[in-house]
Structure 1
Amino acid sequence: MQVKRFFAADMRQAMKLVRDELGADAAIIGNRRVAGGIELTAALDYPLQPAEPVKPNAALEAELRKTQAIIATAQARLSLPEGLTAKKDCQLFGERLDDFKNDFTGADHVANRVAEPAPEVVGPAPVAPHAYESASQDARGLDIVRSELHGLRELLETQLGSMAWSNMQQRQPNQAFLWRRLQRMGLPATVAHDLLAKVAGIAESQQAWRMLLAHFAQAVDVVRDDPMDEGGVIALVGPAGVGKTTTLSKLAARHVLQHGSQSIAIVSMDSFRIGAQEQLKTLGRILNVPIIPVGADQSLTQALAPLAQKKVVLIDTAGLPAADPAFRLQLEALASRGLRSKNYLALAATSQAQVLKAAWHSYKQCRLAGCVITKADEASTLGEVLGLAIGQRLPIAYFTDGPRIPDDLHRLRAHQLVSRAVSLQLAEEPSEDTMAAMFASFYNDLSRKVG
């Protein structure tokens, strides 16, 4: 007998690992949630042991039967005749998931009710020796059932996503073709869905693709006037490692080449990294630009006061964890109305969509004026970062695609950004599993918003 453990982000991926490694005859002998996903224990040639008689639980059995009925109903309704639109598919998917979630919640409620201790009885009462052992076994059994229901929910979402994607390919092949191309660009499903809705009436696929790219360019917002030409206080914010200091160096170097070093100064709020201070000091010596550090006992307003005559003041901020108390103080200083700084969020094109979204959530409270896309030369796609800028309505001020100062700093128009995104799309078509998972995630998120 061969026994092996498998770790994956979700149940669908874990089951795929089991099938690939041990084949379709493998038996799942255990599963549990762990940090970061699911752990499955599978065995090949597993000797089945006769199950011990278990006392039936009528309430849980009823919930499981109801769940099976929901799956059957979802399968039947997703196989409706031709003519069902993508919007109706989405609504249907959301309704089925809502039904399942309600029943799943009901099962949890029943499980919790069964596991509740009996009311306290005043006065002595005889307690059977095996009562506590039985209650402990019941609690463990209910935990297993609850875990199985969570797994069943994941499998249901994956199955319905696969069905929705299959229906899309059969009924709207042109739309399916465009979905694949947008996935190759890394564009988030919500943004892709909105763009596809605008070309749904175009039958010819190439014409639809050209029109879709035109709508894509219209959705991308860019900062019309160069912030450096307008002058004032400009701050770059963002997590550690996204290229804030390097981008600031490019901005300063370009300004000095065009206007000289007398009208610019650099303020550093990053007193946490010695490397950042040294990099700016070296830059200051080369450009003959003053570098003003903000001391621990000094406010940002006090540090900026002697620089009132400078046309441009660039602020380099520290990339601190959101839980750090200094992070909140830094954002409050930048958001001060008396400061009137233009704060731009640095977004690394190499970051995943969830990392980009987390950065926006962390820094949006400092009144962002827009964003700067960095490290485009290291990215495999640009769809994720452009999707965030579109979804959160962040105008794009600058675009960097290399380490050279200041040559690799650009101000691109919307159609140029879209052209870059098309040129960087992945060479391989997304797999059927990838598309099914994307549909499952997208329709599930949409059903939450509708609900």
Structure 2
Amino acid sequence: MKIKRYEARDINAAVQMVKSELGPEAIILSTKRLRKGNGLLGGAGKSMVEVVAAIDYEPRDPMVNTASLPEKRSADYLPRPINNQLINSQLPEVSALRAEVAGLKRMIQTAVGPRPEMRRGGQAGLSAVTAQASGPLNQAVDTLTAYLESIGLESALVCSLLEGAGLDGRADPAESSARLRDIITGRLLDQIVLGRWDEEKANRPCVWAFIGPTGVGKTTTCAKLAAHFALKEKKRVALISADNYRIAASEQLKTYAHILGVPFTAVFKDLDLSRAINRNQDKDIILIDTAGRSPHHEEHMQEMARYIYAHPAIEGQLVVSATTQNAVIEDILAKYLALSVKGCIFSKIDESRFYGPIFNQAVRFKVPIFYFTTGQRVPEDIEAATRKRLIHLLWSELREEV
């Protein structure tokens, strides 16, 4: 196997370099963005793309005319004496190559999640996809694959989205790319569940508890939704703070409640929470702010569980920052979904440019996405999760690569 790294100004240029040197059968193992140089006046430097590609054999020199080569004789295929000195001299290089291949395999395996349907395919699946394509379609597959992986989509998921696309390889590159994007978008969104507030609650209020790690914006999200429901939806709202660790969080929510003219209660144990919910049964929606909890701290998770199960009406809304790494989001969801979680809210969308992890975990866990938060302003910077918004997040960076 031949493995090589390429650096270029964008994905298109990198893919062309790969195809030119390794040929159309090359496999793209990984992509990432780089910053080269210090930039003018201490700036961030020039944006580059690094692509790691591999081929299972040494490519032939395209300039060699095979017709001019001498005819092979049967003797050419007889075993030749082993040159032990040559083999020993190359052992360090072979060992280094094996170590690099092993490292790349571990990287790919780490990226692939636990669901069987996302494990199928992998790089072999991508090879099959590109093997079925030719010409402009091959170029479109290479470019879109590199782009999707550059924003954080897992390789196995990309393969499943491209598998059996069945496009006409004779179409021009722009048409092939557009049709492939439509196929990818449709297949991906069909696997994602969107949530919405259920107004039909059988004569009882909707009760949402905002849970999640520290620093993801639970208190601000709670305030934004309180303002949205009270001012825009004209609903009867109650606010409850169960955050006993940050006094400022409780005071902040109390201030918002005063501005909105809605009742506010601070509770310090699960029994108080149940009583506060019962006192607000005339409301349409009750929003509960909770303290941030590490999914790895068993005692804190048990305390969170006591609050979540304090009243049968409570539904957890897991708040996760969009800036979080893919593996960390997966870990958070795996731990928190053991509780009574109704759905998920991705915060700080405005602080990220790479939204692949959102799609990876939405497909993996099938947890409904309810809202995205897009800034600090209350109540403006929150929006319902829609297919249109997901499409924008998926392709928002593509214009820089083509």
Shared fold per TM-score greater than 0.5: yes
Structure 1 distance, partners of 2:199, 2:156, is 33
* Correspondence for 1:244: 218
**Aligned-residue offset at 1:200:** 5.5
Larger radius of gyration: 1
* Correspondence for 2:163: 197
SS in 1 for 2:337: helix
2:183 is equivalent to residue 183 of structure 1: no
2:400 is equivalent to residue 400 of structure 1: no
Q: 1:378 to 1:184 in 2, by over 3 A?
A: same
- Counting only pairs closer than 5 Å after superposition, residues 280-291 of structure 1 correspond to structure 2 as 280-291=253-264
**Aligned-residue offset at 1:273:** 1.1
| TM-score, length basis structure 2 | 0.62
* Correspondence for 1:318: 291
- Counting only pairs closer than 5 Å after superposition, residues 250-399 of structure 1 correspond to structure 2 as 250-258=224-232, 263-296=236-269, 298-322=271-295, 323=297, 325-335=299-309, 338-399=311-372
**Aligned-residue offset at 1:257:** 0.8
Alpha carbons 2:213, 2:292 under 8 Å: kept: yes
* Correspondence for 1:419: 392
Q: 1:332 to 1:259 in 2, by over 3 A?
A: same
- The runs of 5 or more residues in structure 2 that have no matched partner are 4-53, 60-94, 109-122
Alpha carbons 2:270, 2:307 under 8 Å: kept: no
Structure 1 distance, partners of 2:97, 2:313, is 51
Q: 1:381 to 1:299 in 2, by over 3 A?
A: same
SS in 2 for 1:366: coil
| TM-score, length basis structure 1 | 0.56
- Counting only pairs closer than 5 Å after superposition, residues 50-89 of structure 1 correspond to structure 2 as 78-79=56-57
User: Once the two structures are superposed, what CA deviation does each residue of 1:304-357 show, in whole Å capped at 9, x if it has no partner?
Assistant: 222222221101111122315132121243146x52222121121111111211
Alpha carbons 1:239, 1:319 under 8 Å: kept: yes
**Aligned-residue offset at 1:167:** 9.0
One-letter code aligned to 1:271: N
Q: 1:346 to 1:159 in 2, by over 3 A?
A: closer
Q: Which has the higher contact order (CA 8 A, sep 6+)?
A: 1
SS in 2 for 1:373: strand
Provide the alpha-carbon RMSD of the alignment: 3.7
* Correspondence for 2:197: 226
Alpha carbons 2:151, 2:356 under 8 Å: kept: yes
Alpha carbons 2:129, 2:163 under 8 Å: kept: no
2:108 is equivalent to residue 158 of structure 1: no
Percent pairwise identity = 27
- Which has more helix, going by share of residues? 1
* Correspondence for 2:87: none
- The runs of 5 or more residues in structure 1 that have no matched partner are 1-11, 13-74, 82-148, 430-451
Q: How many residue pairs are counted as aligned between the two chains?
A: 288
* Correspondence for 2:183: 211
Q: 1:391 to 1:426 in 2, by over 3 A?
A: farther
SS in 1 for 2:378: coil
One-letter code aligned to 1:283: Y
